[in-house]
Amino acid sequence: MKMQAKSLRQYAAFLMVRAVFLFTSFILLLITGFLLLKGAKVLSFDFIFKMPENSMTAGGIFPAILGTFYLVVMSIIFSAIPGIACAIYLNEYGPKGWISTMIRTSINNLSGVPSIVFGLFGLAVFVKKLGFGVSILSGSLTLSIVILPVIISSTREALMAIPQSMREASMALGATKWETVWNIILPQATPSILTAIIIGIGRAAGETAPILFTAAVFYSKELPRSIFSEVMALPYHIYALVTEGTAPQSQIPIAYGASIVLLFLVIIISLSAIYIRQKHRSAYAKIGH
Amino acid sequence: MKGKGEKFREKLIEYILFALSLSAIIFLAGIVLTLLKEAAPAFRDTGFLNMIVSKDWYPTYEPPDFGMLPLIAGSFMVTAIALMVSVPLGLCSAVYISELAGKKEKILLKPFIELLSSIPSVVYGFWGIVFLAPAIQRHFDLSSGYCALTAGIVLGIMSSPIIASLSEDALNCVPRSFKEASFAMGADRLETLINVTIPAAASGIITSIILGTGRIIGETMVVLMLSGGAAIITLSPMEPVRPMTSAIAAEMGEAAFQTPHYHSLFAIAIILFIITFILNMAAEKLAGKYRLKLGSHR
């Protein structure tokens, strides 16, 4: 009798946990599904590849897509090398002193800094002090600080996954530390470092707050000409379409379209990161790590 | 001969890597110094304590008032509502994925959660505007659907995958032997979960909640789009509020460079930075402790 009550209790508790989990997934799918359904109506070739028309109430979102592309590419250029170098230093050289503890703590804290604070930093330093103005350069420098900790920690994870025996084998053959890193570790880690960069791309593409005052404008007459031009950007465009402008009724459909373009972009980016990582992981499983 | 050149090259590369590694410290220090420098005039004029406890935020009045209390209260209100949503949803999802889901299900669910946590906040904010805010307005018969409740719910939904994924990691780290010992004593799965697995992962789970809290309090777009924007102190979740992040985002565009308003927005950023800094340090301390605790039993 007691046994039965116990298993009933367990059954009920687990059922509840499962129900809450399904509810959570349902809400999240509801949100994406709702946007997909509404946005699919607006989506077309012209929507993606045309300029906005009639002061943002018709036409496409091409400049916003292009602007996001520029911002993302530039921010990766700025953050990839220091990010990867930092991960290599911490993981492969790994001095145990206070300075590497400080580097680690800084990375952790940097990843927790609110994105609007990065935006203010970018405004004060890149836009004003260095005089880059509201531009692709200021925006992508700001974004690169946002994604720096993301790239560092994903790369470190990748380096940690490489079996110690590989390093030992290389060193035993007389290779120096750097030769080991360059010839053994980096080739092994390339797919995972790529994953780290892709995760960074996904993050940079979706961030809005850091570019609010450093790069983004709602409307620009022409496509950006140089890195000192201000740009339209996809996430900012969604925000501006629903909060600014004069004709909300005709702007909301465009915002639906822009939302699913951004959603698609980020999901494809994340999926490719997950795919590369999963494939790489199973490769290690084969060597028997 | 070769040996010497090689040694030099090795050292040089190590120094280059080291110098690049310092970028994280430099940026963090740069952010702190910049915030302090830009906020200093505001603190000098109004006084640090005075600014935090004074409850009038009228930056554009003549003379202006820069009391941050309503903004801080707004942030806490929205964060509290968000946590009420994301903690149960996130933790149940973590327990489900880690303890109840089958092996194949698990392989699919982990990337699924990760995918969801990568959805940009502006998309959630947009959904809040077109779906949730009108729904809440209708349901509670409010004059506007933009209030602390709407922003809190959307933030909660948004951060539940983050809490789920971090808590799931913590639950996964509990050694098998712990559970096996519990089963051997005759405990069933529920008893093992409640008495062994969750307590063993407790500091990891708390870490995930702390990190989630940091994310929520620092989130800008969702509160900017949904919280209504009124700088008032209220206890009702149906009232519009103006959390710190949304005040910065909404006002920095209009605040002229180097005016008292500009400086006081940087002062808000310092408060925000201090809060997230404390949360991060707490999370780091706890995470270290919990790895130590479980590691020693491996």
Distance CA B19, CA A105 (A): 16
CB contact under 8 A, B248 and A120: yes
Alpha-carbon distances, residue A170 vs A88, A164, A187 (angstroms): 17, 10, 13
pLDDT (0 to 100) of residue B1: 45
What does DSSP assign to residue B174? S
Segment B282-296 mean pLDDT:
72
pLDDT (0 to 100) of residue B260: 86
The distance of A281 to chain B (nearest Cα, Å) reads 12
Helix (H, G, I), strand (E, B) or coil at A60: coil
CB contact under 8 A, A121 and B31: yes
pLDDT (0 to 100) of residue A288: 46
The distance of A202 to chain B (nearest Cα, Å) reads 7
Chain B (58-117) residues lying within 8 Å, Cβ to Cβ, of chain A: 88-90, 92-93, 95-97, 100, 111-112, 114-116
Residues of chain A predicted below pLDDT 70: 1-3, 55, 282-289
Whether B176 shows a pLDDT value over 60: the answer reads yes
Segment B64-68 mean pLDDT:
82
Q: Which residue of A has its CA nearest to B115?
A: A270
Q: Which residue of A has its CA nearest to B129?
A: A242
Of the pLDDT bands very low, low, confident and very high (cuts 50, 70, 90), residue B294 is low
Segment B210-225 mean pLDDT:
94
What does DSSP assign to residue A247? -
Segment B237-260 mean pLDDT:
89
pLDDT (0 to 100) of residue B293: 62
Which CATH superfamily does the domain covering B70-228+270-295 fall into?
MetI-like (1.10.3720.10)
Whether B3 shows a pLDDT value over 80: the answer reads no
Chain A (210-249) residues lying within 8 Å, Cβ to Cβ, of chain B: 212-213, 235-236, 238-239, 242-243
Q: Is B53 on the interface with A (CB under 8 A)?
A: no
Chain A (45-74) residues lying within 8 Å, Cβ to Cβ, of chain B: none
CB contact under 8 A, A123 and B252: yes
Chain B positions touching A112 (Cβ under 8 A) are: 211, 214-215, 218, 276-277, 279-280, 283
Distance CA B151, CA B186 (A): 46
Alpha-carbon distances, residue A201 vs A1, A71, B216, B233 (angstroms): 58, 10, 22, 39
- Residue-wise over A185-213: b if at least 16 C-beta within 10 A, else e? bbebbeebbbbbbbbbbbbbbbbbbbbbb
Q: Report residue B66 as tokens.
A: 């820069």
pLDDT (0 to 100) of residue B297: 42
pLDDT top residue among B79 and B295: B79
Whether B50 shows a pLDDT value over 90: the answer reads no
Q: How many CB pairs under 8 A join A and B?
A: 244
Residue type (1 letter), B232:
I
Q: What is the pLDDT of residues B124-158, one digit of tens each?
A: 999 999 999 999 999 998 888 899 999 999 999 99
pLDDT top residue among B242 and B231: B242
Nearest 5°: phi and psi at B258?
A: 65, 25
Distance CA A141, CA A119 (A): 10
Of the listed ranges B50-64, B250-264, B269-283, the one predicted with least confidence: B50-64
Out of A23, A85, A114, the one facing B220 most closely (by C-beta) is A114
Q: Are A215 and A184 in contact (CB under 8 A)?
A: no
CB contact under 8 A, B30 and A125: yes
pLDDT (0 to 100) of residue A284: 61
pLDDT top residue among A105 and B1: A105
Chain A (247-276) residues lying within 8 Å, Cβ to Cβ, of chain B: 252, 255-256, 259, 262-263, 266-267, 269-271, 274
Whether B60 shows a pLDDT value over 80: the answer reads no
Q: What is the pLDDT of residues B108-127, one digit of tens each?
A: 888 888 888 889 999 999 99
Whether B232 shows a pLDDT value over 70: the answer reads yes
Q: Are B119 and A206 in contact (CB under 8 A)?
A: yes
